[in-house]
Amino acid sequence: MSYLSVVSTLAFVVFFAVGPGSIPWMITAELFSQGPRPSAMAIAVLVNWMANFVVGIGFPSLKTALENYTFLPFSVFLAIFWIFTYKKVPETKNKTFEEILALFRHGNGSIAESSNVNETQMQHYPNSQINEDHSKMQK
């Protein structure tokens, strides 16, 4: 039984580190432009700390109920969250903000044509530097 506890603890730490544990800190900066970024970061961090609070409050009851298997439910949920993150959160490496917007707009992981991306950018961020650059290129 002690080996299962150690393995469960390690699984929890690994899946948390590559899954929901890092999301509020790194991906928020990549997915939001400068204007809404502080609000998005505040919401992401609030949700993260609320989840930590729920884990802290629920752990004693879970420990009493499951004894040696206490970390098993956490490991299962974190594996599910990791799979969700892997499948649904787009890769943002070497992509511009417009390309990331297009990934979320289409939802299928493919990037839209550049004209559609710029239209989307202009609708959501009409005064951005990107739109000024696009207008110069159109002339």
Which token pair is 35? 């204007």
Residue 31 CB neighbour total at 10 angstroms = 19
Question: For the whole prediction, is pTM greater than 0.75?
Answer: no
Looking at per-residue pLDDT, the higher value among 129 and 41 belongs to 41
Residue type, 107: G
What are the phi and psi torsion angles at 12 (to 5°)?
-60, -50
pLDDT digits (tens, 9 = 90+) for 103-113: 877 765 555 44
pLDDT digits (tens, 9 = 90+) for 110-127: 554 444 445 544 455 555
pLDDT at 49 over 80: yes
Residue type, 46: L
User: What integer best gives the mean pLDDT of the chain?
Assistant: 77
Residue whose C-alpha is closest to residue 58's, from 76, 44, 46, 74: 74
Residue 98 CB neighbour total at 10 angstroms = 21
Half-sphere exposure of 50 (CA within 13 A, CB side): 7
